[in-house]
Amino acid sequence: MAKQRVVVLGPTTDDPLHHERAEMADLDVEFIQEAPQSEGEAIEAVRGADAIMMRGGWGTEQVIRAADQAQVLAVYSHGFNHIDVDAATDMGIIVTNGAGMCAEEVSNQAVTMALALNRQVVQTTNQLRNTGSWDRSAFMPIGAIDEQTLGIIGFGNIGRQVARKLGQGWRMETLVYDPYVAPWIISEYGVEQVFEINELCERSDYIIVVVPLNTETFHMVGAEQFDHMKESAFYINVCRGSVTDEPAMIAALQAGKIRGAGLDVFEQEPVDPANPLLQMENVITAMHIAGASTRSGWLARQRASQQVAAVLRGEWPSAGQNPEVTSKLDEKTRMPGSAGLITGHGD
């Protein structure tokens, strides 16, 4: 009998799990696949699991508290806002994700939207397609993007790639708002750190938000921030819809407080077809597709599996998202030798 049970919650129960098995080949683990259709089924599925890998939902408090043997819970995505992290921390469960699995893809989406808004690509296409009019006046002025200022809210893996591409590649002056980023990272990327989000809003011509959704970032960009933006500014969101106060953004666009927006995400998904944002000529949209590519699909599996394997070996995962859990780890029974590696308190 395997020493450790890895429960994979997904849409099917016949996935070959090639990457998961490869990353844990040196461990004595048993993979158990479950496709729960209800919270009750998910609760039963996680009982006795040493590790949980989630490809979908079911990260509720009730499910997490049923996993009383679990050491780690990993999601395959960047976002983990569907996981009750507080409950996991209280249970002594390390929460981790597939960090880095789509940093290039999401940053590319942000850059694409910035360039498309700058050059009015979607708007001019729609005008020619729908009316045939050659009147270019509605799309002026077109600012020289290399003379404009980029503001990045959130400077993790994705934000840094946006800075590399637009800041270094398109030579935009780049501001960063992220109170948690280390000063040497700021220096390495040649950006300017600001410590008030409203200052970034006041100074930026393009504002790109790339932060995880949690209690701190929920509606972090709202009416106050839109009031501080330039009337010529473009706002781009490629992370999670609820980072933005959507009604406040709609009001700002309708009032002409900002020039336009690029949105890969919405507060309600799938988006309501009646949402005013879909009818605005100065807004370009996508279907929460920023992270998708032929590479990110398999890389998500690899990254999430590496995180789980690290914990099952008694190590702290590189993408651990709840470091405060370490205070709980000494209260749990761990495999021999693991306490010192993860918490630093062992012999």
The residues annotated with a catalytic role in the active site are 240, 269, 288
Residue 91: CB atoms within 10 A of its CB come to 21
CA distances from 151 to 111, 213, 280, 292 (A): 12, 19, 23, 24
- 154 vs 190: CA distance, rounded Å: 15
Which of 30, 23, 27 lies closest to 5 in space, CA to CA? Answer: 30
Tokens read off for 342: 């993860």
- Name the helix (H) or strand (E) containing 304: helix 294-312
Q: Spell out the residues 6+ positions from residue 120 whose beta carbon is closer than 8 angstroms to its own.
A: 139, 142
Phi, psi of 55 (to 5 degrees): -100, 0
Torsion over CA: 324, 315, 35, 242 (sign): positive
What is the spatial distance between Cα 66 and Cα 208, in angstroms, rounded to a whole number? 39
